[in-house]
Structures are given as C-alpha cells and as structure tokens.
C-alpha cells in the first residue's frame, strides 16, 4: 500500500490509452468534450489530468474529498433503485466551474499536495461495511476522476453493488462508452442551460448533454435530467422551451425531468428562483407530454411524488428526498400502477 500511495501521489495513475491522443510533445485528453490539449507537465482545465512524458496521467487518482452515505433520491434519481442508499464519494476540481456552484469548496479547489489515498477496493469494502446498495460519484464532477470511477465500478460489480454518477454529462463518446461497459448504469444528468444564454457557461455545447443521455438510454442505462433554474440566467421562456423540446426530441416522454430551485451560492447573487417560475416550467413540460416531471429544492410533497401518468394516482410518496410510501406492484419484471395497470418506469429493485 505504501508504494502505491507514493506512486499515485507523485505522478497519478496512467489513463487508458483510448482516452487520449498523443502528437509529438502534446496529448489531447478525450475524457470530456473540452478535449484539453496539454504540453508536457501541463494539467487539464479540471486540474486532474497531466501530460507526463507524453502520456496522460490521472493526478488525483484516489485522492477523495468526501465519502458518505446518502439516499439515492437526493441525487436526484427517483426512478433508479428507489429507497436505496449509496456510498457517495468525490474528489477535487471541475471541468465547468459554474459560478453558482453549491459545492465550490471542492469543485474550485486544487488537489491537496498531501492527501490520503483510498483505493477502489477500500472504497467498496467501506460500502459493504456500511450496508449500502451501490456507489455514487457526486458532489463534484465525476469526469475529473474518471479512471478512479471506472475502477471503483468494476470492483463494486463483483459484489452486486450498482454504480451511478451525478454529472454535467460532458463525456466524449469514447469515455461514455467505457463508462457504460464498466457497469455504470445510472446518470443524474445536469442540463445547465441553452445556446442563447449570455451570462455564464457560454462556451458549453448544451446539446451534448442530450446526445449523451440518448446514448445511455439506447444501451439500456437509466437517465434523469436535472434542470437547475437559475434566476435571470437560464429561466426565460426561450431557454426552458429549448431544454424541454430537446428533452423530448432526444429522450422521449418517459425520461424523468427534475426542475430544481436555485439558491445564491459562490459568486452568483441573483435571488432564489421564484416558485411561480418553477411551476410555470413544470406546467409547460407536463403539457408537452412528459410523464414524470418534478420540482426539487422546495420540499413540496406534491411535486416530489410520482403520479401514474395514466390515472393520476400517487404511486410513490416522497418527502425531503425520502420515500415514505411505495404503492407499485411488481410482476414479470415490471412495476405497474395498482389502480390501472399502467407500466411505470423503474430501473432496478425497490429498497423500501
């Protein structure tokens, strides 16, 4: 362990060959769509990958900032292993640096020079000791520790644990393919805004989120889209119509949409999202035909709970990200409404 600790603290772990390209003294990182081109001894935008002698290394491998148990509903994932608990872990840095980030203390932090090393095997052993149902890479962007997340997922699958990520979904196709092949099957995917945004994140191609979400769905994985509605930033009609229409075009009507309230954080001082605005967007999404639309961060059970899209009865009653009642019936591998028999989208088994 000591030798591994010293190696990983000095040069990190080499990244798999298919996740970067090498040309002369440069390497191009292919983990996220920023595709940083790095000279020797230069690090990526997220601060976690470095060109060392013409090879990409994950400098932050195993240097975790937080490890704690959290309910899956807080991710938020409402249709993925309902009621389960996930050992949630994070590292340092980000590839987006949203100015309203609520976890800026780790997303905007550099990797500490001296940091305890936790191997993927030790992470899984901790998960088993805590009697959780899976792993969740969260708090900051999992793409910043992609190699570690892959290794932890492979180890977790040996013990029947699921693995999911809370992500800005800015994967390249090659990294997303590798994530799915490793066993990651749950994605809480943040959509930050739309092409007409002018105040923040203007260099981001927001359609990549939907492209990648469709890629996951087409390969049998589970996705829920999370739209943080930031006041005077991505809350105007043209923007939310673009988001919801892209959601329908790429993902159809069954993929859940979470419309979440923003609160001032980090450098952003716009007031909290008016509840009326959230309800307006919720109404539009529902009228457009989305079956599962939620409002988060307002702690209102009406907007947290799952209703049958056919008969309208409450099937999963939630309060503050906890499942209090689960009324679905299960037969032939599917969950159904007990009142009308409608098939209800649920990925994985319920743990109530």
Segment 248-285, tens digit of pLDDT = 999 999 999 999 999 999 999 999 999 999 999 999 99
Does residue 317 fall inside a structural domain? yes
Q: How confident is the model at residue 11 (pLDDT cuts 50, 70, 90)?
A: low
* Separation CA 176–CA 267 (nearest Å): 31
308 is in an annotated binding site: no
pLDDT tens digits for range 41-96: 999 999 999 999 999 999 999 999 999 999 999 999 999 999 999 999 999 999 99
* Domain end position, chosen among 58, 77, 95: 58
User: What integer pLDDT is reported at residue 118 of this predicted model?
Assistant: 96
User: What integer pLDDT is reported at residue 2 of this predicted model?
Assistant: 39
* Separation CA 130–CA 171 (nearest Å): 30
> What would the two tokens of residue 161 be?
């644990």
Domain that holds residue 223: 66-344
The half-sphere exposure of 62 on its side-chain side, counting CA atoms within 13 A, is 24
Same structural domain for residues 52 and 158?
no
Which CA distances in Å does 24 have to 16, 18, 141, 164, 253?
18, 17, 30, 36, 47
User: What integer pLDDT is reported at residue 3 of this predicted model?
Assistant: 40
Same structural domain for residues 304 and 260?
yes
User: How many structural domains comprise the chain?
Assistant: 2
pLDDT tens digits for range 211-238: 999 999 999 999 999 999 999 999 999 9
Question: 302-310 — which CB contacts under 8 Å span 24+ positions?
Answer: 306/78, 306/79, 306/344, 308/337, 308/339, 308/340, 308/342, 308/344, 309/342, 310/337, 310/340, 310/342
* Separation CA 155–CA 191 (nearest Å): 29
Does residue 78 fall inside a structural domain? yes
Does residue 241 fall inside a structural domain? yes
101 is in an annotated binding site: yes
Same structural domain for residues 176 and 85?
yes
Same structural domain for residues 76 and 53?
no
pLDDT tens digits for range 83-127: 999 999 999 999 999 999 999 999 999 999 878 899 999 999 999
Q: How confident is the model at residue 8 (pLDDT cuts 50, 70, 90)?
A: very low
Q: Is the pLDDT of residue 333 over 90?
A: no
Same structural domain for residues 44 and 107?
no
More confident residue, 1 or 169: 169
Same structural domain for residues 75 and 104?
yes
pLDDT tens digits for range 127-157: 999 999 999 999 999 999 999 999 999 999 9
Does residue 322 fall inside a structural domain? yes
Same structural domain for residues 90 and 27?
no
- Residue 71 sits in a domain whose CATH number is 3.20.20.70
Same structural domain for residues 120 and 49?
no
* Domain end position, chosen among 58, 83, 99: 58
Q: Return the percent helix, strand and coil in the chain, to nearest 5.
A: 30, 25, 45
- Region 167-173 average pLDDT: 98
Does residue 350 fall inside a structural domain? no
Q: Is the pLDDT of residue 308 over 60?
A: yes
Does residue 1 fall inside a structural domain? no
Same structural domain for residues 201 and 144?
yes
**Cβ-proximal residues to 5 (8 Å cutoff; 6+ apart), any chain:** 117
- Region 17-31 average pLDDT: 95
Same structural domain for residues 15 and 95?
no
* Domain end position, chosen among 18, 39, 58: 58
Same structural domain for residues 48 and 79?
no
User: What integer pLDDT is reported at residue 17 of this predicted model?
Assistant: 95
Average pLDDT for the chain: 95
Cis peptide before 76 (omega within 30 of 0): yes
User: What integer pLDDT is reported at residue 114 of this predicted model?
Assistant: 79
Same structural domain for residues 142 and 256?
yes
94 is in an annotated binding site: yes
Q: Is the pLDDT of residue 200 over 90?
A: no
User: What integer pLDDT is reported at residue 6 of this predicted model?
Assistant: 42
* Separation CA 235–CA 206 (nearest Å): 15
Does residue 4 fall inside a structural domain? no
Q: Is the pLDDT of residue 10 over 60?
A: no
């Amino acid at each position: 362990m000591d030798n591994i600790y010293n190696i990983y603290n000095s040069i990190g772990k080499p990244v798999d060959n298919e996740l970067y390209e090498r040309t002369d003294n440069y390497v191009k990182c292919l983990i996220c769509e920023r595709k940083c081109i790095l000279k020797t001894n230069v690090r990526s935008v997220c601060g976690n990958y470095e060109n060392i002698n013409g090879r990409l290394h994950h400098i932050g491998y195993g240097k975790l900032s937080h490890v704690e148990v959290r309910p899956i509903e807080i991710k938020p994932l409402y249709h993925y292993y309902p009621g389960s608990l996930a050992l949630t872990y994070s590292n340092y840095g980000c590839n987006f640096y949203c100015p309203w980030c609520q976890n800026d203390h780790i997303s905007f932090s550099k990797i500490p020079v001296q940091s305890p090393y936790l191997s993927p095997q030790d992470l899984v052993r901790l998960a088993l000791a805590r009697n959780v149902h899976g792993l969740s890479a969260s708090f900051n962007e999992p793409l910043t520790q992609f190699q570690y997340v892959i290794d932890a997922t492979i180890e977790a699958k040996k013990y029947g644990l699921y693995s999911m990520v809370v992500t800005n979904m800015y994967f390249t196709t090659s990294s997303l393919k590798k994530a799915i092949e490793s066993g990651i099957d749950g994605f809480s995917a943040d959509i930050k805004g739309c092409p007409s945004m002018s105040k923040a994140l203007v260099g981001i191609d927001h359609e990549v989120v939907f492209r990648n979400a469709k890629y996951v769905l087409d390969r049998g994985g589970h996705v829920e889209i999370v739209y943080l509605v930031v006041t005077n930033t991505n809350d105007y009609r043209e923007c939310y119509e673009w988001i919801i229409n892209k959601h329908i075009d790429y993902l159809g009507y069954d993929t859940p949409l979470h419309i979440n309230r923003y609160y001032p954080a980090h450098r952003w001082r716009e007031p909290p999202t008016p509840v009326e605005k959230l309800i307006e967007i919720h109404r539009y999404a529902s009228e457009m035909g989305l079956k599962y639309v939620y409002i988060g961060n307002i702690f209102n059970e009406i907007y947290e709970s799952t209703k049958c899209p056919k008969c309208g009865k409450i099937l999963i009653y939630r309060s503050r990200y906890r499942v209090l009642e689960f009324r679905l019936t299960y037969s032939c591998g599917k969950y159904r409404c007990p009142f009308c028999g409608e098939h209800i989208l649920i990925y994985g088994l319920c743990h109530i």
